[in-house]
Structure 1
Amino acid sequence: MGMMISRRMFVAGAAASAFALRGGAWAQGPDGLVVRTKSGVLRGEMAGDARVFRGVPFAEAPVGALRFRPPVKGKAWTGERAATEFAAAAMQPGGGTFSQSEDCLYLNVWAPKGKGPFPVFVWIHGGGFTGGRSFDPVQDGAKFANAGIVCVTVAYRLGVFGFLDFEPLLGASYAGSANNGLRDVIASLAWVKEDIGAFGGDAARVTIGGESAGAKLADILMGVPSAEGLFHQVISESGGAERIAPRANALKVGKGFGEVWGKGDLLTADPKALIEAQTSFMKTWPQHFPLRAEIDGVLIPRLPVETIAAGSTKGKRLLIGTNREESASFIGPHPAKDPGAGDLGNLPVGTFDEVYAKYAGLYPEMSVEGRRIRATTAEEYWIPSMRALDAHVRGGGKAWDYRVDFFETTGRLKDYAYHSLETPMIWDKPRESVGNAVAEASLSGQMHAAWVAFIQGETPAAAGLPVWPAYRSDTRDTMIFDTTSRIEAKPQEAEMRLWDGLL
């Protein structure tokens, strides 16, 4: 990975004179590896056939007086800035294999050769709002760049730095700070709108996407009024827009963290101490994923699905889906007890138990373990995704729905289409270590090609896949990705009805 760079590591020189500006805003040098953005000159490097720019700042470092504050647009620099090393990841528990820092608001760009204009794919990493990084080796954008797409991977503040409301602890001026991680993503999209043309990207064709927490942020952004003009399509892998707290709950979580923290100065504390307190807090808090965005009445005026259904994504396109047994990654196989509050992201245990009790009658042939996994998958991923999907279509958007049934034939999670199983395939990085590696390689090529087609503005399609019809709420035609993929109408219809009126 190389040594991480700071904001002050530049290649000095009069690079601005090395090439002429076109349009007075930004330009590429003759080899495409030197670009002038509105903030300054960047030098990237080639990685195979892709031009790569790493560690590009899109906001000021959120440190010192900016800790727990909304992101501030980055300042311009002079001279030529090297963009050849990844910046540090956001502060998070663990992560011994890569550097971490509060100074984390950077993005990475993989661009095709040539001037474009090319469609743009902005990837928001997952990690439960408390972990992850924009430079995971799986999410290397070279394959997308080789397909004629400018791929951008973005970072955002995690945990208490990005998803805790500090108003109860620091005063009214910190109200809504639980949305700072989301604001970071919005700031990165504003940078894309302003500067992606320097890399050959088309700011009028931006697809945002992500997996898990990244997909949830993308889905929430569909219901954020101020973000409407920053993207045109959405890809949601195992997402949903329900990972959001009413304001009263966000304030309660802020107070709860304060009780664990004690009386130390939050604004000058060592960031590692804050992460340690976060870990202690999350172990005792009765709700799963307490650190989440909030309905603050400013950035997010109401539940995102309500805003989406009212037309915030009218005319936009959505590709969305989940894996059949997402929760196998977390609670199974063979958990010690039935699901409790620590396994649920959205519902109180009592409400969940009423639904879960009906799974035995619906799937009598399924093991207890299998029913437990299916029900918690529905609560956290499948039903929230379907709620976002239906709201999008009601609001005038177009969508394609999928479910991943493909599973590994070896290993601890064999026979399960578990959470994140599809991620390497989307990036066309099939694994050679699984028992059915040949089948995974074939499906990987198909899924990557379908994602590329969608990003390019076409119907998602690939050789070997059946024709994928657009989603309709009455037929619910769904692409089932498997060793032999198929279209299925109204999959899991009886199971879906168990969740009517919930979430």
Structure 2
Amino acid sequence: MHSTRLSRRDFLAKASFAAGSLLSARGLFGLQASSAVTVSTPSGTLKGEAVGGVRLFRGVPFARPPVGDLRFRPPQKAEHWTGSRNATQFAAAAMQWGDAGVRHSEDCLYLNVWAPEGKGPYPVYVWIHGGGFLSGRSFDPVVDGAAFAREGIVCITVAYRLGVFGFLDMEPLLGAGYAGSANNALRDIILSLEWVRDNVAAFGGDPSRVTIGGESAGAKLTDILMGIPSAEPLFHQMISESGGAERLGSRPDSAVVAKGYGDEWRRNTGQTPAALRTAAPGSLIEVQHRFIAEWPQHFPLRAEVDGHLIPQLPVKTIADGSTKGKRLLIGTNRDESALFIGPHPMGDATAAELGNMSLARFNSVFSRYQAVYPQMDHQHLLIRAITAEEYWVPSVRVAEAHVRGGGSAWMYRLDFAESSGRLKDYAYHSLDVGIVWARPHTGVANAGAEGALSRQMHQAWAAFIRGESPSAPGLLAWPRYTLAERSTMILNTVSQVQQQPQQAELRLWDEVL
């Protein structure tokens, strides 16, 4: 018996994360008794809430609303405000398909701050959410920053424009004035980091100790930021969970994608692309949904190497030393793709399931997987190979570029798998999020083991953010990742360190990439 395969584009259209969607948007924090608290920042005074030793400020603007004439334009710094601004409600999420029950708007460039009640200075963790560049939000209940704040960390979650609003090159459709618009989401994140630099001290944060991080698309954006020279002064450490920066769009590729979207726009609305400047935002998302469903490859909407903001492939810039002296915590889950193609996929891979290469190139590698893993059946081989193509190999490339460029890195692989549920026995994509953020699943058969691992991983991440080696009680000493040994922490019920893991598999990819 096998399950129906669920493509990543279908999954992302239904939910931002696989977990946590049943909690209220305010999170568990909002269920506790709280008191009002204010803070004066260089941008203005904020009124938030305090409870349990944590101060929370929601919906803080870091940019002017990207609406009207600012649609598809680079973000503009938020204006100062007078009086006390209410920061007790989350702002709207970025425009996207699905995500029922959540308010969406083009006016989405806000961030949220969880801060300890003391004066600090505290290290800062800036979280970039995932969602395939099409969905997600800065206030998913799973990423409640209170747990990090109680560890003495100022935790900030940021939003950015999604889909056609943040990742489509509008120059071919609207003219030269929109050049580089495929990178507007990255510019949003950079502007949020500038806000952190200028304002975080008011919350007790130390602007000289800023860690950026994310999962899935958030990790990919983190890895891309490592290769953007103008962003380099804005952060000092990086955490990448299931990311990579292997493939970005090129100007020619982006023009083809733009034409495809423009043609879909004409077919569905009868209007020329000029109408994109003023059309209702929901209509752009409707057309985007149809366009994504028909496009033959995964991730048609993505950042591009434009020769300006992103001068070349990020891994090349990183290897040249763009993150020299900085620290990186990076890793993947063993069975990422099981979430998207199902625990028992039948048949062969499709182009829509691949994030970084053509189907022909993938098949040239996959045809040799059985020789590397003779004990695996076809479905496990397919999950392993698609995971490697999308997440594992690109993450290894980022880690090794970073080390070559003079940085230090710690690598992990999450092997822990839940013992019940649809994805039983798989360390699937997004499983790490709740574990790291101290929100493990409680409805699985081995919930106790997941909770214990959650305590370890959360403490290890917090130690890293504080500038220490990632460590926690009961966790083995975690060695740095070097090109000679490739030491990797295998995170599980009983964790262990392995040297040169999956080397035969990696050699297959080395011959192709």
Q: Work out the CA distance in 1 between the residues paired with 2:144 and 2:386.
A: 31
Q: Work out the CA distance in 2 between the residues paired with 1:475 and 1:390.
A: 11
Q: How does 1:173-322 map to 2 (within 5 A)?
A: 173-262=177-266, 263-264=271-272, 265-322=275-332
Structure-2 change in CA distance of 1:454 and 1:446 (3 Å): same
The Cα offsets for residues 27-76 of structure 1, whole Å up to 9 and x where unpaired, read as xxxx9921122221111111322100000000000000000000000111
Q: Work out the CA distance in 2 between the residues paired with 1:2 and 1:328.
A: 27
Per-residue deviation, 1:363: 1.1
Task: Give the alignment partner of residue 398 of structure 1, picking from 371, 386, 408.
Answer: 408
Judge conservation of contact 1:169–1:254 (CA < 8 Å) in 2: yes
Q: What corresponds to 2:448 in structure 1?
A: 438
Task: Give the alignment partner of residue 458 of structure 1, picking from 445, 463, 468.
Answer: 468
TM-score by length of 2: 0.91
Q: Which amino acid aligns with 2:452?
A: S
Bigger shift: 146-155 or 325-334? 325-334
The Cα offsets for residues 64-101 of structure 1, whole Å up to 9 and x where unpaired, read as 00000000001111111010000000000011121000
Q: What corresponds to 2:159 in structure 1?
A: 155
The Cα offsets for residues 365-422 of structure 1, whole Å up to 9 and x where unpaired, read as 1010000000000000000000000000000000000000000110111111100111
Q: What corresponds to 1:103 in structure 2?
A: 107
Q: What corresponds to 2:3 in structure 1?
A: none
Bigger shift: 234-243 or 394-403? 234-243
Structure-2 change in CA distance of 1:2 and 1:402 (3 Å): closer
Judge conservation of contact 1:32–1:113 (CA < 8 Å) in 2: no
Judge conservation of contact 1:216–1:243 (CA < 8 Å) in 2: no
Judge conservation of contact 1:127–1:213 (CA < 8 Å) in 2: yes
Q: What corresponds to 2:397 in structure 1?
A: 387
The Cα offsets for residues 325-357 of structure 1, whole Å up to 9 and x where unpaired, read as 100001122335311110000100111000000
Alignment partner of 1:81: what SS? strand
Judge conservation of contact 1:92–1:131 (CA < 8 Å) in 2: yes
Q: What corresponds to 1:115 in structure 2?
A: 119
Q: Work out the CA distance in 2 between the residues paired with 1:473 and 1:32.
A: 51
Query: Is it true that 1:351 corresponds to 2:361 in the alignment?
Result: yes
| Unmatched 5+ stretches in structure 1 | 4-30
Q: Work out the CA distance in 1 between the residues paired with 2:288 and 2:280.
A: 13
Q: Which amino acid aligns with 1:213?
A: A
Greater length-normalized contact order (CA 8 Å, ≥ 6 residues apart): 2
Q: Work out the CA distance in 2 between the residues paired with 1:243 and 1:309.
A: 16
Alignment partner of 2:253: what SS? helix
Structure 1 outlier segments of 4+, above 3 Å: none
| Unmatched 5+ stretches in structure 2 | 1-23, 27-34
- RMSD of aligned C-alpha atoms? 1.2
Judge conservation of contact 1:243–1:292 (CA < 8 Å) in 2: no
The Cα offsets for residues 104-139 of structure 1, whole Å up to 9 and x where unpaired, read as 000000000111100000000000000000000000
Q: What corresponds to 2:377 in structure 1?
A: 367
Alignment partner of 2:148: what SS? helix
Judge conservation of contact 2:25–2:141 (CA < 8 Å) in 1: no
Alignment partner of 2:510: what SS? coil
Q: Work out the CA distance in 1 between the residues paired with 2:246 and 2:168.
A: 17
Per-residue deviation, 1:429: 1.2
Per-residue deviation, 1:499: 0.3
Q: Work out the CA distance in 2 between the residues paired with 1:289 and 1:49.
A: 41
Q: Which amino acid aligns with 2:124?
A: V
Q: Which amino acid aligns with 1:281?
A: F
Judge conservation of contact 2:36–2:49 (CA < 8 Å) in 1: no
Q: What corresponds to 1:428 in structure 2?
A: 438
Query: Is it true that 1:416 corresponds to 2:426 in the alignment?
Result: yes
Judge conservation of contact 2:25–2:139 (CA < 8 Å) in 1: no
Q: What corresponds to 2:170 in structure 1?
A: 166
Alignment partner of 2:111: what SS? strand
Query: Is it true that 1:448 corresponds to 2:452 in the alignment?
Result: no
Q: What corresponds to 2:343 in structure 1?
A: 333
Q: Identity across aligned pairs (percent)?
A: 64
Judge conservation of contact 1:408–1:416 (CA < 8 Å) in 2: yes
Query: Is it true that 1:61 corresponds to 2:65 in the alignment?
Result: yes
Q: What corresponds to 2:135 in structure 1?
A: 131
TM-score by length of 1: 0.93
Judge conservation of contact 1:2–1:85 (CA < 8 Å) in 2: no
Q: Work out the CA distance in 1 between the residues paired with 2:503 and 2:25.
A: 50
Q: What corresponds to 1:12 in structure 2?
A: none
Alignment partner of 2:413: what SS? strand
Q: Work out the CA distance in 2 between the residues paired with 1:337 and 1:159.
A: 30
The Cα offsets for residues 433-489 of structure 1, whole Å up to 9 and x where unpaired, read as 011001001000000000000000001000111100011011010000001000001
